[in-house]
Structure 1
Amino acid sequence: MTGSGSSSGSGCGSPCGACKFLRRKCVQGCVFAPYFCHEQGVTHFAAIHKVFGASNVSKLLTHLPVSDRAEAAVTISYEAQARLHDPIYGCVSHIFALQQQVQF
């Protein structure tokens, strides 16, 4: 976690983006704090919450090794944004578009 001795999970005295979005206190050891900063984290977490739900993402992150959580958070955020843009295919539509570019 970032910052030691702080009462908030984000280590800077303000809640992480996820806790700010969920309107709850960000506690020491918050699973979201290292991956959803105070500034941009709210926007990213809003999409994640809408698509996957906070509880599901929390469970997923806690079951992963700490070394894999940052990459998982970025991937989940990307997929959530893609699902909001294209609810049927999500990020697969980007893959199809790139495959077509390669073919041409």
Structure 2
Amino acid sequence: MAKRLIPTLNRVLVEKILPPSKTVSGILLPEKSAQLNSGKVIAVGPGARDRTGNLIPVSVKEGDNVLLPEFGGTQVKLGEKEFLLYRDEDIMATLHD
């Protein structure tokens, strides 16, 4: 049975994007050459409420590529896949081509 995780409040479920370990031509890349600590947003919560009860929506949406902090997030394993759960305010930026 497959499980689907739906974050609560202003949390965001992210799958890390792993940089390639070698080029197309087969040259191995050193670990330090990895570019950005990035991930793809898999699911988002509805948002948090302010002091007056108004909903503050999450700033990213499913499918966005985001820049993640070097440390943080809560590891979540669903089946064979590993994900990270962040608060919306911990995500540093969205990445665009």
TM-score (norm 1): 0.21
Q: Which has the higher contact order (CA 8 A, sep 6+)?
A: 2
Instruction: Name the structure where strand makes up a greater proportion of residues.
Output: 2
Per the normalisation by structure 2, the TM-score is 0.22
